[in-house]
Amino acid sequence: MTLHPSTPIVRSFDMQMAHTFYIEFLEFKVDWQHQHQADLPVYMQISKDACTLHLSEHFADASPGASIRIGCEDLKAYQTQLIQKQYKHAKPSITEQLWGIEMTISDPFGNRLIFFQTVE
């Protein structure tokens, strides 16, 4: 038996806010999006490099307040790129840890994305 990479489901309450945060700020791309009809919740897959997330407005799919760890190469360059955007809701900083460096950013729905780079 072989396990494959997991795909976290992240709770969202507003796809426009999610788009601004994940697509415009963090530079993920929308892989696909599903909605049964215009007034029903949206479910979508987004990705950046090898990282894939599902965003869901569906009530029972996930609870807000999740923490997701995302491995990253050259975290300091990514931080610089994000700070240059001057996004008014996040000014990400890097924290030194025993195992490497981390940059934690909260999305508009209370979920924490912890980008990390391990020490080699």
Average pLDDT over residues 98-112: 96
Please report the domains of the chain, with CATH numbers, ordered by start residue.
9-118 (3.10.180.10)
Q: Is the pTM of this model over 0.85?
A: yes
Contacts of 8 (CB under 8 A, 6+ apart): 53, 54, 66, 68
Q: What is the pLDDT of residue 119?
A: 81
* 11-56 per-position pLDDT tens digit: 999 999 999 999 999 999 999 999 999 889 999 999 999 999 999 9
Q: Are 111 and 98 in contact (CB under 8 A)?
A: no
β pairing state of 67-71 and 112-118: parallel
Residue 100: strand pairing partners: 97, 118
By percentage, how much of the chain surpasses pLDDT 70?
Answer: 100
β pairing state of 9-11 and 51-56: parallel
Task: Report how far residue 72's alpha carbon sits from residue 50's, in angstroms, rounded to the nearest whole number.
Answer: 10
With tokens 């975290």, the residue in question is 75
Q: Exposed (0-12), middle (13-18) or buried (19+): which is 103, by Cβ within 10 Å?
A: buried
Average pLDDT over residues 83-93: 93
